[in-house]
Amino acid sequence: DIQMTQSPSTLSASAGDRVTITCRASQSISVRLAWYQQKPGKAPSLLIYKASTLESGVPERFGGSGSGTEFTLTISSLQPDDLATYYCQQYDTYPLTFGGGTKVEIK
């Protein structure tokens, strides 16, 4: 199985800060990576697919990059509404696997 490792597990930042979350795959997955946002008590929602393609309707302050085994999700200017847990997911191979999540807190 492909293991997905996210870091950090928690981060605290101020509104307006640039925030970066890293996701590493245990083997190459090309660009078959998605990012999701899960707000407290809600279902996840798709932010980015194919490592860097923004889902329709997602604010442009969210961006993704990377290929192979290393990927990043960047929030260019953190907003209070971005309070959530963020997950990466590989869709290269079954079983599909998720990273452990990064909880973003607003200072």
Q: Quote the least distance from Cβ 1 to other proteins, whole Å.
A: 8
Q: Quote the least distance from Cβ 45 to other proteins, whole Å.
A: 7
98 near other proteins, judged by CB under 8 A: yes
| Residues 36-75 within binding reach of other proteins (CB under 8 A) | 36, 38, 43-46, 49-50, 55
Can you tell me which of 21, 75, 82, 99 binds other proteins, judged by CB under 8 A? 99
Residues 6+ apart with CB under 8 A from 87: 6, 35, 36, 38, 44, 98, 99, 101, 102
CA dihedral of residues 64, 65, 70, 71 (deg, nearest 10): 0
